Amino acid sequence: MAINKVEICGVDTSTLPVLNNERMRELFPKIHAGDMDARREFIQGNLRLVLSVIQRFHNRGESVDDLFQVGCIGLIKAIDNFDTSQNVRFSTYAVPMIVGEIRRYLRDNNPIRVSRSLRDTAYKALKAREALGYRIGREPTVAEIAREMQIREEDVVLALEAIQDPVSLYDPVYQDGADAIYVMDQVRDNRVTEDEWVRDLSIKQAMDRLSERERSIIHRRFFQGRTQMEVASEIGISQAQVSRLEKAALQQMRKYI
């Protein structure tokens, strides 16, 4: 994502104006009265806020233009719902609205499809977690969230895991100059043990010492599951010759395994 590009969605970001708090307070009564020029000025004066928010999502591989447009939707929703009677800065209210809109967009466009009911359960669980945390003064457990929602703990876990953003094995987790450490470097594959890895390496080294015809026979027989008759037909020799070459090749390989 080219977050440093100057022009986004046809907007020259280097020339965007910035509204101070006093000017925002002057514009809000006009906006509520339906003044479209005031609304346009307010939106233009807060586009830099949208830019600052979308930088948090620069590593998602999404188009910066798309994120900017979605962020602008969040900004407009914040303008429409902001309560000027509260002693809160507009940016304090708007940033979570913009972030939430972008996160919804990323979840809805996730290549891993999640059912609507599961997503709804996850959003309710997030709200319950936030409300419980505020009430009890700490991070609630899954069991507490489940009791609050009156559903099973398994359903809470499944729903929350379903909305997690997928991580590519090739995403860098640390980079020092030209050397990067990727997610795949920190993932253990329990399907392949060290003994199996050494054995496979030994087999490869042993096969490298065979002649081309011997390697072809061993590969067909033990990697492709061919019979000696099939191998003989494929390479144009007799079954007896295949049997003799196979036996000699296996004896040769045993020296190196």
pLDDT in tens, 67-102: 888 999 999 999 988 888 878 888 888 888 888 888
Tokens of 188: 């253990």
- Asked if 78 and 94 touch (Cβ cutoff 8 Å), the reply is yes
Rg (CA), the chain: 31
Taking alpha carbons only, the member of 124, 107, 116 closest to residue 163 is 107
CA 27 to chain centre: 40
- Strand, coil or helix: what is 182? strand
Percentages helix, strand, coil for the chain, rounded to the nearest 5? 65, 5, 30
Per-residue pLDDT, 37: 92
Per-residue pLDDT, 42: 92
Q: Please give the Cα distance from 32 to 42 (Å, whole number).
A: 12
CA angle (134 as vertex; 130, 138 as ends), nearest 5 = 90
Q: Please give the Cα distance from 235 to 250 (Å, whole number).
A: 19
Per-residue pLDDT, 52: 85
Kind and range of the H or E run holding 69: helix 64-81
Per-residue pLDDT, 183: 60
Q: Is 0.85 surpassed by the pTM of this model?
A: no
Low-confidence ranges of the chain (pLDDT < 50): 1-4
